[in-house]
Structure 1
Amino acid sequence: MHRSAARFIERIRRSRAYATLLPTSITRWVRTVAWLSVVVNIGIVGTGGLVRLTGSGMGCETWPYCTADSLIPTPELGIHGLIEFGNRTLTGVLVVVAALAFLSVLRLQPRRPDLVRLSFAIGVGIIVQAVVGGVTVWLHLHPSIVGFHFLLSAALVVLATVFAHRVYAGQGPRESGVSRGYAGLAWATAASVAVTVAIGVLLTGSGPHAGDEAAARNGLDPILWQHIHAWPGYLTFALSVLLMAGAFRTSPSLDLRRWVGILLAVEFVQIAVGLWQARTGLPIVLVNIHMVLAVALVAAMTAVLLHLERRVVAQDVAPEPSPVEASAR
């Protein structure tokens, strides 16, 4: 973490104004905020998708203002201006949740620098995401920057998932709780998820939902890339089935059966929605669900990887006998 950021965090931590307000242990409030961070970072993809799918990407013609003379949409912009401005406004909700997450772990005892860094990174990432959103508007929804905008959201979902996991898992040294082969299978599945999502971004950039009638497309053949997108999707599902089979041979304390089960459930619904939307002309509702499921898939896969490890439990060591006890023997 940059020195200036570290000094800023330390200044807030030592502030007496917050001493009686911030929790000093992992409470229900801290856990709730951690889960909320995951939910809102997934949810913003749904509202962002709605902007694109309704052709409202240029509903506000500039950024950060909606028009050259108005911060908020004017009546002339119609429903598209309201949809685009509504999505921008929800970014403020993400900032508030990120701030609450940061403050909720700032004064924990013993200190949790991992949670502080993660929550701070999420907040910075949301601000960067807002700037990228502005660049997207300035570049009139170029498919490359729109795709990067989505991938940045996926990265924030990963950070929020790691944050929530560590709130529950606690701190201290950790070790692998699975065999090397099972860990390799899990990481291969994660790589397949990453490829599936990346190709999905390229496919979206070639399809009809550009966010605006004048927005450019990337020139790829959408029919061909639908099939290319499906191949790693099916591979991911097959690898996840193997993960589930192997999960029954892992320690129940890792809770891998539950999380791999959630991963499989998300994949099953994602595949079903993908096939349905492809055969019905890409209706807006199904495409939006497909987008949200994509980042939910990323969150589930991240959770599976995090549960491959367990905390190291120190062995109880018998104390050395005292000289009195030794002589008595």
Structure 2
Amino acid sequence: MPTTSMISRISRPTPRAVRVLALAVLVTQALIAVTGVIVRVTGSGLGCPTWPQCFPDSMVPVQHPEVALLHQVIEFGNRMLTGVIGFIALACLLAAWGVRPYRRRLVGLALVMPLGVIAQAIIGGMTVLVNLAWWSVSVHFMASAVLIWLATVLVKATTEGDQRPVGVVPPRMRKLLVALVVITAAVLVLGTLVTAAGPHAGDPDTPRLALPVPTLVELHGLLVMAYVLVLAVFGVWLRGARPTRTLLKVYGAACVLVLVQGAIGSVQYYLGVPEVMVVAHVLCATLVIIITALLWCESRYRGPLPEPTPKTTAKESVAA
């Protein structure tokens, strides 16, 4: 009869299964950032005014004279999505742990995901408890940005090896990528400050950041222009660097996305930041994070994906 260890070998997850779960983690991490902004622009940030409960003595929304039911449902739905992400992240970690050969880097990246979900839940709870103070909302979004970046790296790790990375592009271009990552982080941080000073606080009674919005918008725009400039220089140098086809595709996508994002940001500002445009802007921001992370990953090579350990079939197990 086959033993428990034999059965476990038969049912080990495949690299493809890990890749699918990693993609699901990435998609849901980006989705939680978008649903978070929906909570904010609809004024539902305090739809559930306590944490971890929705209301005192209730984990779920209840009829309340001071809080509209729609706001409760939107905020509670965002909290439930966190649980879904946590479940998917845990499944990805278990799959990465079980795949053979064992890959330490892959497991490490997968481990960050459920830990990050826990951290995000705590930050989200803190945001509610401090009544959506602008700095807490900024921290909440930046934590999501970091997790989206790492989830993108995780997805890439499911398609490559574990060797020491070798540059696909010359060192000067890798330095440009470092600058691009720094500028991306600065754009995101300043974007959260624009939001903190703007009209969409998540709740009508939340105090705003006491800085002039036009000045913040101008600084934000200058950083976006710096991103475009660095990206353009990278593209000029890329022509003579013998890039891979994938790197060229990612670069092209990055150029398109940053231009679309800039257009959305400009239109949203001149239209008075309507809610739909704000959601579109954040959605595009998550895509820019992803494409910048992919540009970083595709500019280095870690060798081929390790060959999976051959499975032991049930017939062979019984015979053994």
Common fold by TM > 0.5: yes
- Runs of 5+ in structure 2 lacking a partner? 305-320
User: 1:84: Cα distance to partner?
Assistant: 0.3
Residue 281 in structure 1 maps to residue 272 in structure 2: yes
The 2-side partners of 1:201 and 1:18 are apart by: 47
The 1-side partners of 2:60 and 2:5 are apart by: 36
Bigger RCO (CA 8 Å, 6+ sep): 2
The 2-side partners of 1:71 and 1:18 are apart by: 38
| 1:159 partner amino acid | L
Query: Structure 2 matches for 1:42-191, cutoff 5 A?
Result: 42-76=30-64, 77=67, 78-191=69-182
Residue 26 in structure 1 maps to residue 15 in structure 2: yes
Report SS of the residue matched to 1:70.
Answer: coil
Contact 1:119–1:163 under 8 Å retained in 2: yes
Aligned residue among 223, 226, 231 for 2:217: 226
Number of the residue aligned with 1:324: none
Contact 1:177–1:254 under 8 Å retained in 2: no
Query: 1:18–1:290: structure 2 CA closer, same or farther, 3 Å change rule?
Result: farther
Contact 2:168–2:243 under 8 Å retained in 1: no
The 1-side partners of 2:189 and 2:114 are apart by: 24
Contact 2:162–2:303 under 8 Å retained in 1: no
Number of the residue aligned with 1:298: 289
Identity %: 31
Contact 1:247–1:256 under 8 Å retained in 2: no
| CA root-mean-square deviation | 1.8
The 1-side partners of 2:270 and 2:297 are apart by: 36
User: 1:312: Cα distance to partner?
Assistant: 5.5
The 2-side partners of 1:254 and 1:159 are apart by: 23
| 1:66 partner amino acid | C
Deviations 1:298-326 (A, max 9, x none): 1111111111212369xxxxxxxxxxxxx
Identify the range of structure 1 (286-295 vs 203-212) with the bigger mean alpha-carbon deviation: 286-295
Alignment TM-score, normalising by the size of structure 1 = 0.86
* Structure with larger Rg: 1
The 2-side partners of 1:85 and 1:21 are apart by: 37
Alignment TM-score, normalising by the size of structure 2 = 0.89
